[in-house]
Amino acid sequence: MSHPHPELGLPGPLPADGVRVVALGGLGEVGRNMTVIEHRGQLLVVDCGVYFPDDSHPGIDLILPDFEYIEDRLDDVQAVILTHGHEDHIGAVPYLLRLKPDLPLVGSQLTLALVEAKLREHRITPYTLGVHEGMREVFGQFDCEFVAVNHSIPDALAVMIRTGGGTLLHTGDFKMDQLPLDGRLTDLRAFARLGEEGVDLFLTDSTNAEVPGFTSPERGISSAIDKVFRHAERRIIVACFSSHVHRVQQVLDAADKDGRKVAMVGRSMVRNMTIAADLGYLRVPPGVLVDFGQLKDLPDDRVVLVCTGSQGEPMAALSRMANRDHKIEVGPGDTVLLASSLIPGNENAVYRVINGLMRLGALVVHKGNANVHVSGHASAGELLYCYNIVRPRNVMPVHGEWRHLYANGELAVLTGVARGNVVVVEDGVAVDLVDGHVSVAGVVPCGYVYVDGSSVGGADEELLKDRRILRDEGFISVVVVVDSMTGKVVAGPEIQARGFVEDAVIFEDIRPTLEAALDAATADGASDTYQLQQVIRRTVGGWVGRKIRRRPMIIPTVIEA
């Protein structure tokens, strides 16, 4: 079983009949899914999603895949295949199409509708090709067949990619729900048929590889949602992903049975559910859905609100309600239903929202205390089932943190895949399929690209480090005036500190030490302002570290007079 090696260099030339696979996101993380497949000088992209920032990314709105690897080769891209309509698979498409707006987008009807709505906001009109299960399309060197898979959003697809150098089956995100709400099963017959044909490389969803058994069916949580509705005293506020059509369907059905009216809150929720309803993926019971403005005329025990914010996103509707920064004021008797699972890394933000809502008097129902959500990903039992059906020659786990990828690789080995034919790698590692065997060929640049307001790529790790220091360690400003002729200190140092619990008078203790350090530096010949700023930074930083045990941001200013 392979793993990333820091010492790896850039991959060498791809053999003439080889196939190269490079994930620019989605390996070693949950989100930012994007895989580039190369054969005979042409490229095929599978998915192009975003990663949502956590507490270690202060001020960042979104995190994109790094397009540098293909930026100079966009003319070689034959198509961008989108497996389904979740943000972690389509959210970065507008940023890719800014580089080349005519890249062909290929996906199912609902997936493309969601992407097109997103692109309209960016004033981009894409070239799209709608496909469905059973279709087969050729894009340059890539002969692609699409297979129905079940997921937590309708119209998800796996894709079989046939090339002159071998065959690749990419599952996208999937599970094997045997009682799907929309009746659309993962097509195991197609998987078996493709397995009989021969799958040289199986790229499989790893998100639930650590979870034993089979993922529970979506239909099984309807009774739990109905129970929430029966016992709710006042309003019900449901938070879920803005693309979770199946969950919203269950909420609409429960509201219809309970005689409640439903209003959507939030631009993305309204947009996506309108698209789903118009295309027939969301069945709205007559008279149940109302505009938000109509709720004021209804009693609280007849009201249901469906909003975003199930992951604790700071600007989402639910977080703002918890912070009393929303026109909807949550209070005693209200029931808040978090109808989603926790994305790894979001735990603190979600629990902060739950605590805030409970402090306001609301009853919060979530996966931790009720069966109100099931995963959209295949658990270990389902993955084993697929391995035994497909019988792939080589396996490359995708979609998940390192622990998920590793667990998925071990499942492949258990079913008889040779350990040397299982490649567990992270973003940027190039995997070559040559003559039926996989190997690690090298690594390409593959960092995070940050969306910070209107800036894309302007923020970097140095900026985030500064923001984290300001947030966690505080800020000290030191101003000194020196004689431009002699270099001697003639005024200051003036010290201002922010973000410390200690009284400001404590910083008076550093003045004599700082003055002595500056005098010694000028005596040793330090004369320019940069050298003196470095003396201030070292002296103050060392003193604060010893005295207060903090590492604040220190901004020295030296003025010549």
**Strand 77-81 relative to strand 261-264, pairing:** unpaired
Distances (CA, A) of 191 to 2, 61, 114, 134, 389: 26, 38, 27, 12, 7
What CATH class does 19-214+375-452 carry? alpha beta
Enter the tokens of residue 477. Answer: 């400003």
CA atoms of 372 and 365, how far apart (whole Å): 8
* CATH of the structural domain 218-365, one choice from 3.40.50.620, 3.40.50.1980, 3.40.50.10710, 3.40.50.300: 3.40.50.10710
CATH for the stretch 461-560: 3.10.20.580
Enter the tokens of residue 67. Answer: 């397009």
Enter the tokens of residue 460. Answer: 């970097």
pLDDT value, residue 212: 94
Beta carbons of 42 and 75 less than 8 angstroms apart: no
pLDDT value, residue 24: 94
Domain-wise residue ranges, the chain: 19-214+375-452, 218-365, 461-560
Please state the φ and ψ torsions of residue 191, each to the nearest 5 degrees: -55, -45
Chain centroid to CA 127 = 25
Determine the Cα angle at 22 with ends 16 and 26, to 5°: 160
pTM: 0.80
pLDDT value, residue 83: 97
End-to-end CA distance of the chain: 66
Q: Where are the alpha helices (DSSP H) in 82-136?
A: 87-90, 93-97, 109-121
CA atoms of 554 and 543, how far apart (whole Å): 12
Which residues are paired to 391 by β-bridges?
Answer: none
Number of Cβ atoms within 10 Å of the Cβ of 379: 20
How do the pLDDT tens digits run along the chain, 561 residues long? 444 566 788 888 999 899 999 999 989 888 889 999 999 999 999 999 987 665 565 556 677 888 989 999 999 999 999 999 998 899 899 989 999 999 999 999 999 999 999 899 889 999 999 999 999 999 999 999 999 999 989 999 999 999 999 999 999 999 999 988 888 999 999 999 999 999 999 999 999 999 999 998 888 888 888 888 888 889 898 888 888 888 899 999 999 999 999 999 888 888 999 999 999 999 999 989 988 888 888 888 898 999 887 666 666 778 888 888 888 888 898 898 888 776 666 677 788 888 888 888 888 888 777 777 788 899 999 999 999 999 999 999 999 999 999 999 999 999 999 999 999 999 999 999 999 999 999 999 888 777 665 556 555 556 555 555 555 666 777 787 776 666 566 676 777 777 665 666 677 777 777 777 776 777 666 666 777 777 777 777 777 777 767 777 777 777 776
pLDDT value, residue 473: 64
Enter the tokens of residue 47. Answer: 């998915």
Q: How many residues does the chain have?
A: 561
